[in-house]
Structure 1
């Protein structure tokens, strides 16, 4: 057993080890979203993902039901934890996750347009922000909206590769 594995068995993942894992095993690169994923896994807010938090988090991350994934994505996107995804939060996440295109026009304008489109499509009670109910209804109507504000779930390929590496059967020939 490597030193990092024995350290994990004793205490859990600290933030840096966790973020390295997200990057290495799941190809995540967005610092804001990776930090939010860490906060979502770290249920007791002790800046360490314990074995129990890791297993519970992974079960949603890799194999969660649509309902579990909606709750998880909402928590990731609610940057300040106030129960809403605000226009400012959407702007910040989209600005981070969209590729920077060299162009004459102000990229912030395009992002503001995307935020307006997202609100028009998802803000069912028209209060200018997304509650959990708004987000849930929008995603249930159109599953592609689950990761509307940036990739915070692994793609199928990296999920399967992770599961294969982690749970591969030892077969006797």
Structure 2
């Protein structure tokens, strides 16, 4: 009896959620099953990071924490079932517009609505291989930050607003993940989708 009620509740929840996503109702039901396998309650930061690492090959601690923040819309330190499905909709199948907004939230480390020079530096400092002969190993990163700002800061205020970021990405889609990988690569996304849709995109 309890499993029948649980299935009805899951179907009802899937019916309410799927209209706001790029998934169909059956795919949402499968995502809810995956969620329940991950946790009996709400998905916490640790389990969520495990999914990012093990399923989507993400390794950057800062970015994984920021992806968690982007999924956790109500800031309660958990990813609910609905946040899981709607977050994955953007993460895996989002439009360019949706993914620009998502990436901007991930890169805006302090949540003030801008990506500052310091935030760019912080995200890029792990991306360069440091040469032991370099006197100032941060010099190359500072150069990269300046290049990014020169290319993307359209209003010349030494920081990136969403408008700056959007304009830059619309001109060059490769800039979507300019400050680090916060979306899954195609292979990882296809692999995950294939586990419950039976087809790859």
TM-score, normalising length: structure 2:
0.78
The 1:48/1:131 distance shift into structure 2, 3 A limit, reads: same
Q: How many residues align?
A: 165
- CA RMSD for the aligned pairs? 1.6
What corresponds to 2:129 in structure 1?
A: 100
What secondary structure does 1:104 align onto? coil
Unaligned segments of structure 1, at least 5 residues: none
TM-fit CA distance, 1:165 = 1.3
Indicate if the aligned counterparts of 2:149 and 2:160 stay in contact, CA closer than 8 A.
Answer: yes
Instruction: Give me the whole-angstrom Cα distance separating, in 1, the residues matched to 2:38 and 2:62.
Output: 26
What corresponds to 2:190 in structure 1?
A: 160
Indicate if the aligned counterparts of 1:11 and 1:51 stay in contact, CA closer than 8 A.
Answer: no
Instruction: Give me the whole-angstrom Cα distance separating, in 2, the residues matched to 1:7 and 1:119.
Output: 40
Asked which structure has the greater CA Rg, the reply is 2
Q: Which runs of 4+ in 1 moved over 6 A?
A: none
What secondary structure does 2:125 align onto? helix
Choose from 124, 143, 146 the match for 1:116: 146
Unaligned segments of structure 2, at least 5 residues: 1-32
1:97-143 CA-partner distances (Å, limit 9, x unpaired):
x1433331122100000000000000000000000000000000000
Instruction: Give me the whole-angstrom Cα distance separating, in 1, the residues matched to 2:38 and 2:151.
Output: 46
Indicate if the aligned counterparts of 2:38 and 2:47 stay in contact, CA closer than 8 A.
Answer: no
What secondary structure does 1:124 align onto? coil
